[in-house]
Amino acid sequence: MEILSSIENGILTLEFNRPERKNAITAAMYQSMADALTAAETDVAVRAILLVGKPEIFTAGNDLEDFMKNAPSSGAIEDRSVYKFMMALSGASKPVVAAVSGNAVGIGTTLLMHCDLVYAADNARFSMPFAQLGLCPEFGSSVLLTQIAGYPRAAEKLMLGEAFGAQEALDMGLISKVLPVEELRAFAEGQAAKLVALPASSIRTTKALMKAARTAPTAQAIAEENKHFSAMLSSPEAKEAFMAFFQKRKPDFTQFE
């Protein structure tokens, strides 16, 4: 199973389990997580949700081969499993805890902005290389990262797409705490257990109140980003970026205006 899903002591744990491909996410994996999150909404046995990867890698982001095979036609974004997963995550009424170690690339960083408590190991590396691939930010990150980190830092991360470490992620407010890699998962599980022990209605209401002010702007940003993202997938720049990736060479964007 490339997504390990279990419910124990009130915690739904979803674990990326494809280390041989650096936990790159396929459409099937997105669908599995979307189904689990959707079911958790009405499952009284679930009071908190935990997202984890492996000690050496959180996720390399989209599996590009699988992604290109399942690339949407214009207007078909709502039918994609990645969209269903991100909407289920963004709309989850129950608290979501994430534990990140190793690389969190692309959507691996984007999804953290929709979680409630995010903890990282000291070996964590975050990146959002959308512009490097001839694309644009996704799933509200253009708005959410700006709110979290401020415009200058958000511009640096989203325009240049360069990787940054756990301490910088902490300084900019993307994560809550940095821990040694060997302590990360136990700590995150402990935080989720604290949430389970608290009144469920209080936690859900607190989360809803805190997210209310950003719900409409985020939804608007997602719609706008999706429109541009879908169109840019067929752009010459994106085609060059993907071809260069598969050919293991540096892309040449100077040929495009």
Q: Is residue 27 in a domain?
A: yes
Q: So what's the pLDDT on residue 116?
A: 98
Give me the CATH number covering residue 51: 3.90.226.10
Cα separation of 57 and 71, whole Å? 25
Token pair 């739904």: residue: 12
Check: CB of residue 3 under 8 Å from CB of residue 30.
no
Q: So what's the pLDDT on residue 75?
A: 47
DSSP per-residue codes, 203-231? HHHHHHHHHHHHHHHHHHHHHHHHHHHHH
Q: Is residue 100 in a domain?
A: yes
Q: Is residue 189 in a domain?
A: no
Q: Is residue 89 in a domain?
A: yes
- Residue 252 token pair: 């040449």
Rama region for 173: left / alpha / beta (φ>0; ψ in -120 to 50; rest): left
Q: Is residue 111 in a domain?
A: yes
Phi, psi values for residue 11, rounded to 5° = -110, 125
Residue type, 113: M
Q: Is residue 109 in a domain?
A: yes
Q: So what's the pLDDT on residue 72?
A: 58
Check: CB of residue 241 under 8 Å from CB of residue 132.
yes
Residue pLDDT tens, the chain, 257 long? 999 999 999 999 999 999 999 999 999 999 999 999 999 999 999 999 999 999 999 999 999 888 777 665 544 677 789 999 999 999 999 999 999 999 999 999 999 999 999 999 999 999 999 999 999 999 999 999 999 999 999 999 999 999 999 999 999 999 999 999 999 999 999 999 999 999 999 999 999 999 999 999 999 999 999 889 888 888 888 888 888 888 888 888 888 77
Q: Is residue 131 in a domain?
A: yes
Q: So what's the pLDDT on residue 221?
A: 92
Sequence-ordered list of residues with C-beta below 8 angstroms from that of 123, at least 6 positions apart, any chain: 56, 101, 102, 166, 181
Could you list the residue range(s) of the whole structural domain that residue 140 is in?
A: 3-181
Cα separation of 156 and 209, whole Å? 30
Domain count, the chain: 1
Q: Is residue 118 in a domain?
A: yes
Residues in the chain: 257
- Strands (E) located in 17-156: 48-52, 57-59, 96-100, 103-105, 117-121, 125-127
